Amino acid sequence: DADGIAACVKDECAHRACPLSLGQVVDGQVECPYHGWAYNRGGECTKMPSTRYCKGVGVKSLTVQEQDGLIWVWPGGAEPTTEVPRFHAPEGFTTHAELMLDVPVEHGLLIENLLDLAHAPFTHTSTFAKGWSIPELVNIKMNGALVGNWDPYPIDMSFEAPCITLSTIGLARPGQVEKGLRAEDCPKHLYQMHVCLPSKKGHTRLLYRMALDFMPWVQYVPFINSVWQQMANQVLGEDLRLVLGQQERMAVGSDTWANPVSYD
């Protein structure tokens, strides 16, 4: 709105049902791109250009709360009663990338993929797992409900229901994952948050945040954002063809959990 506070109104103009998301926010109000009707944060129509203004016209609005760069929406219409969870990078980390990617995969499959590290040396051979050897045994040691550390990789992961995964990757040297270490034993760390929002059937809007506890100056490197974007797309691309293939098979009744093993 005009104070820079997040708001959420139904994506459908009260006039001819044009998507308001195609319009713009002008003076803190969302303006429909079709005939210019404008709506305030409460969804009330405040402007109907080129005709006589009719009072009492509006669209539905929802309660929202902003916390740590995430906007939480209450679709049930209830006032938020509990505090929203905190999801900021740990103390001492600098956030370097915050990206949004639209992925043509159902969010459950994508979350399973993000929490799976055993696939890295087979799938991510052109990106972060380039040169990784294939361990005798890959395991996730759970040290809490849905929190664990990977063995032999220095990577801690957690799943925050219903759709967030967090990971802290220990680096022996910048960009280098060393086997046989715990994340906490490494001098440098990369922190990642993946939020997998179901956006429409078979589609996920992926919010990605990456932070480092070393080289804070990297954020000032020109065009660094497009470098991170390209890297994220590359890694995701390596997964996507596999997960899309799974999705196609699931659609005709295949079971993706027919033979689970210890690292699953």
Question: Applying CB under 6 A, which residues contact ligand FES?
Answer: 13, 15-16, 18, 32, 34-37
Asked if 248 contacts 240 with a C-beta cutoff of 8 angstroms, the reply is: no
Q: Which is nearer to Fe ion, 106 or 239 (CB)?
A: 239
Least separation in angstroms between residue 30's CB and ligand FES is 10
Q: Applying CB under 5 A, which residues contact Fe ion?
A: 239
Q: Which two tokens stand for residue 179?
A: 């086997």
Q: Which residue is nearest to Fe ion (CB)?
A: 239
Is the Cβ–Cβ distance between 89 and 97 less than 8 Å? no
CB of 32 to ligand FES, least distance (A): 3
Q: Which amino acid is at 210?
A: M
Q: Is 223 exposed, middle or buried (0-12, 13-18, 19+ CB in 10 A)?
A: exposed
- What distance in Å separates the CA atoms of residue 31 and residue 23, rounded to the nearest whole number? 6
Closer residue to ligand FES in complex, CB, 44/98: 44
Smallest gap from residue 114 Cβ to Fe ion (A) = 7
Token code pair at residue 120: 């890295």
**Closer of 11 and 160 to ligand FES (Cβ):** 11
Is residue 87 within 8 Å of residue 70, measured between CB atoms?
A: yes
Judged by beta carbon distances under 5 to 8 A according to partner kind, the member of ligand FES, Fe ion, none in contact with residue 32 is: ligand FES
226-255 CB burial, b ≥16 within 10 A, e <16: eebbeebeebbebbbeebeebbeeeeeeee
61 vs 127, beta carbon nearer Fe ion: 127
Residue 15 binding: pick among ligand FES, Fe ion, none (C-beta 5-8 Å cut-off by kind) = ligand FES
Cα–Cα distance measured from residue 106 to residue 43, given in angstroms and rounded to the nearest whole number: 30
Residue nearer to ligand FES on the CB measure, 58 or 198 = 58
16 binds, among ligand FES, Fe ion, none (CB under 5 to 8 A by kind): ligand FES
Cis peptide, bond prior to residue 154, ω within 30 of zero: no
Q: What, of Fe ion, ligand FES, none, does residue 239 touch, CB below 5 to 8 Å by kind?
A: Fe ion
- Pick one of ligand FES, Fe ion, none as the site partner of residue 35 (Cβ within 5 to 8 A by kind): ligand FES
Nearer to ligand FES, 13 or 89 (CB): 13
**Nearest distance from residue 33's CB to ligand FES, in Å?**
8
Contact of 194 with 207, CB cutoff 8 Å:
yes
